[in-house]
Amino acid sequence: MNFKPTVVIIEDEKNICNFMETTLSAHNYKVIAASTGHEGLSFITSCIPDIILLDLGLPDMDGVNVIKQVRKWSMIPIIVISARTNEQEKVLALDSGCDDYITKPFGTSELLARIRTALRHHQNAGILTANPEGIYSYGDLSIDFTKRLVTLKGEAIHLTQIEYKLVSLLAKNSGRVLTYDYIISHIWGPYADNNNNQILRVNMAHIRRKIEKNPAEPYYIFTEIGVGYRMRENLSNALL
């Protein structure tokens, strides 16, 4: 199962945008590029990327406003990439919720390293367990969040991007009931419509067929009728 992390680039300087898009595509990232803040926000809410690369000097709005709007509903990592070198500008962006700040010009190695670090920190922060290795484990099921790998009885399970996001969200919150609205917002964005409730159920049915011995009597992911879903608590946590 080889997932490509999705990156939304919001940058109006075409040369810089093309450079980042080419670099990231060559390093196994899926890239979506936007040249305005409003276009970028639309992409973010529609595809829920793994990370955002954001210029501050956009033609239609200040990048800080993009950060503030995203932070109202998501903790997706945001790296600001800007020509602004003033310390106060950096402080404002960081205080508004960005995770890192790169000053132009920048090199390929630095960009890739900053992205890897931001993704790693986000993954670790999302694992609400005491397991330092970043692995969910219960019974025959194991999820390695760092490798984005799901295995059952030692065999890799093929999941779609959406299915993996659902399983990892539940696993990182194992033992807790996540409401339908919470899951839909985190997977499909804050403006998802009522149809996503049915899509959620369909995806969950597909997941159960892949990981459950008997999907009608689930062992790993339980339905809390009328509320949401709960995944068995991480075995590493239960043993502490």
Q: Are residues 208 and 218 in contact, defined by beta-carbon separation less than 8 angstroms?
A: yes
Same fold? 6-126, 135-238: no
Long-range contacts of 184-193 (CB under 8 A, 24+ apart): 185/73, 186/48, 186/74, 187/48, 187/162, 188/48, 189/44, 189/45, 189/46, 189/48, 189/73, 190/45, 190/72, 190/73, 190/74, 191/45
Give the whole-angstrom CA distance, residue 98 versus residue 70.
10
Long-range contacts of 81-87 (CB under 8 A, 24+ apart): 81/11, 81/16, 81/20, 81/53, 81/54, 81/55, 81/106, 81/111, 82/55, 82/56, 82/57, 83/57, 84/56, 84/57
Query: What integer pLDDT is reported at residue 132 of this predicted model?
Result: 45
Query: What integer pLDDT is reported at residue 151 of this predicted model?
Result: 94
| Interacting residues of 67 by C-beta distance below 8 A, sequence separation 6+ | 54, 78, 80, 93, 96, 97, 98
- State if pTM tops 0.75: no
Query: What integer pLDDT is reported at residue 177 of this predicted model?
Result: 86
Provide the residue-wise pLDDT of the chain in tens; the chain has 240 residues.
557 889 999 999 999 999 999 999 999 999 999 999 999 999 998 888 999 999 999 999 999 999 999 998 888 999 999 998 888 888 999 999 999 999 998 999 999 999 998 888 777 665 444 344 578 899 999 998 888 899 999 999 999 988 999 999 999 888 888 888 888 888 887 777 767 788 899 999 999 999 999 999 999 999 988 888 999 987 655 443
Q: Are residues 20 and 53 in contact, defined by beta-carbon separation less than 8 angstroms?
A: yes
Query: What integer pLDDT is reported at residue 2 of this predicted model?
Result: 59
Q: DSSP string covering 139-178, please?
A: TTEEEETTTTEEEETTEEPP--HHHHHHHHHHHHTTTSEE
Just give the CATH number of 6-126.
3.40.50.2300
Query: What integer pLDDT is reported at residue 73 of this predicted model?
Result: 83
Task: Name the class of domain 135-238.
Answer: mainly alpha
Give the whole-angstrom CA distance, residue 24 versus residue 81.
15
Give the whole-angstrom CA distance, residue 184 versus residue 96.
25
Query: What integer pLDDT is reported at residue 129 of this predicted model?
Result: 43
| Extents of the domains making up the chain | 6-126, 135-238
The owner of tokens 């219960």 is 138
Query: What integer pLDDT is reported at residue 235 of this predicted model?
Result: 63
